[in-house]
Amino acid sequence: MSAFPTPTAVLPHRPPFLFVDEVTALVPGHSGTGLWHLTGNEWFFGGHFPGRPTLPGVLMCEAIAQVGAIAVLTDERFAGKLPLFGGLDSARFRRQVGPGDTLELHVELGRMSARAGKGSGRALLDGKVACECELMFVLVDA
């Protein structure tokens, strides 16, 4: 049993748009790590691409952002808030990810204020970078 909260205990996201299966490390307000286990039954694989199912890169960025949101929302300074994407910079996709793969998602939060913040993240596949990006978000009342 993990000592960390379940994603559904922290995030408002629900399937089919909840991409974090498990939180494996967490420092509220600073960083987080989680896992996304791709089964092949996900809704996007059927059409992206038929015959060669590939995880869309933007969904890797969303999964990274969800881990970032967990790091933000477990910090009591941000209770009652909801982090929304404000921007995405320097996104790079380095590896194809498909059914049966597990992504390890890492986020380090940077500058934070009562209204906005920044973070950097990456998704690793077998220890190698599959995606990396810089996140900007705004905090609104939940």
Q: Which residues are catalytic?
A: 48
Helix (H, G, I), strand (E, B) or coil at 53: coil
> Which uninterrupted H or E stretch holds 31?
strand 31-37
Helix (H, G, I), strand (E, B) or coil at 60: helix
**Alpha carbons 5 and 14: distance in angstroms, whole number:** 15
The alpha carbon dihedral of 68, 69, 72, 74 has a sign of negative
Structure tokens at 100: 């049966």
Assess contact for 134 and 90: CB atoms under 8 A: yes
Structure tokens at 1: 């049993």
